[in-house]
Structure 1
Amino acid sequence: MSATPAAGSTTAHVLLGLLAAGPRHGYELKRAHDERLPRAKPLAYGQVYATLGRLQRDGLVTAVGQDQAGGPERTSYALTPAGRAQLDSWLERIETPAPYVTSTLLAKVAVALLVADADKARTYLVAQRRAHVERLRELTAVKTAPGADLGAVIAADFAIVHLDADLRWLQTTLERVANTHGEVRS
């Protein structure tokens, strides 16, 4: 029996963290995930239950009861001491910066520069920059909304910093395209 979720299994560790607050069933875990990580990709119910099954198999969570309040029977799960130790270990590990950049944005720009002329590449870059600026406005509105949830603000901050880095890179790339082709427009 392994007591370690698969390497890179962020979902398993997030579920362990949500269970640290007390027992919950899968529906509650999915809802709590989506509320606490509002800018993350929402979890599918199937993913929640499959992950709970693996965590239970590995002794990191245990079923603690059944509930059928107005719907289908739901099993509640609780964190085991081994699960808490695994969660603490995961939280203490420093994340290594990724050795490779994997981004659809980078791939599209690289391909656009390979297959398109400078004007088409520039058009794509400018359109992408506009989309990034619009998303920055949306996220700023989330942060400044009256009574904004701390989790939503932190998630918005994270996304804004990444969008800002993308915008700086897009501008640098536009300048490089212009310089390579003897242009000064951007």
Structure 2
Amino acid sequence: MSTRHILLGLLARGPSHGYDLKRRHDERFPQARPLAYGQVYTTLQRLVRDGFAEVDGTASDGGPERTAYRTTETGTRELARWTGEIAPPAPHVTNEIFTRLVVLILTGGDADAHLRAQRAAHMARMRELTALKTAPDADLTTVLSADYALNHLDADLRWMTTTAARLTTLTTEVRSR
């Protein structure tokens, strides 16, 4: 995830100050880790330094002084370049589930029980995400994010099913070495 590009994307709709950018980030990317205010302001300073954004003005409106930022032409071109890139598929996909399972197989643990428990956890999370995306107040970002997560969980479940079918062969192979 590129925080600088996300903030450029949020600025593309018009000038904004850091507080609003942080709030909009957290609304638009609900499944992502929320941004810290310090990260927003540091990133904005770097965008200005690199010529991708500029200060649009400051105002206090009776409260603390707020600096508004806007994207520059250079920032607009950078955002277009970044959004036009294709993210390369990971050459070797590995995750915690895979790693734990391999260690369980290598150490003689109960890999089958672990897969069953992991499957149950995935199914529970899938039910939560389905409820989230079908809620009457679900916005487009929530639906897209939930769909993305659901598809990844589904892929994990398919891998677990394939692996469970191979467990006897895998454990025999490891024990014979």
1:91 aligns to 2:83 (yes or no): yes
Q: Evaluate the alpha carbon distance shift between residue 70 and residue 160 of structure 1 in structure 2; reply closer, same or farther with a 3 A threshold.
A: farther
Q: 1:153 maps to what in 2?
A: 143
Counterpart in the other structure of 2:125: 135
Of 33, 39, 43, which residue of structure 2 is paired with 1:41? 33
The 1-side partners of 2:168 and 2:18 are apart by 53
| TM-score, normalised with respect to structure 2 | 0.89
For residues 177 and 77 of structure 1, do their structure 2 counterparts lie closer, same or farther at Cα, with a shift above 3 Å needed?
Answer: same
Q: Could you tell which deviates more after superposition, 141-150 or 152-161?
A: 141-150
Indicate which of 165, 168, 174 corresponds to 2:155.
165
Query: Relative to structure 1, is the Cα distance of residues 86 and 115 closer, same or farther in structure 2, using a 3 angstrom cutoff?
Result: same
Taking the aligned partners of 2:65 and 2:114, their CA distance within structure 1 comes to 51
Residue type of the alignment partner of 1:38: P
Unaligned residue ranges in structure 1 (runs of 5+) = 1-8
Aligned ranges for residues 99-138 of structure 1 at < 5 Å? Answer: 99-117=91-109, 120-138=110-128
The structure-2 alpha-carbon separation of the partners of 1:116 and 1:45, relative to structure 1 and needing over 3 Å to count, comes to farther
- CA shift, 1:50, in A, is 1.5
Task: Tell me what 1:5 maps to.
Answer: none
Instruction: Give distance in 2, aligned partners of 1:68 and 1:131.
Output: 48
| Cα drift, residue 35 of structure 1 | 0.7
TM superposition shift of 1:71 = 4.1
2:59 maps to 1:67: yes
Per the alignment, in what secondary structure is the counterpart of residue 146 of structure 1? Answer: coil
Q: Secondary structure at the match of 2:19?
A: helix
Secondary structure of the structure 2 residue equivalent to 1:47 = helix
Distance 1:50 1:116 in 2: 49
Gaps (5+ residues) in structure 2? 173-177
- Matched residue SS, 2:155: helix
How much does 1:110 deviate?
2.0
Distance 1:71 1:172, change over 3 A: farther
Please tell me the root mean square deviation across aligned C-alpha atoms, in Å: 1.7
- Aligned residue pairs: how many? 172
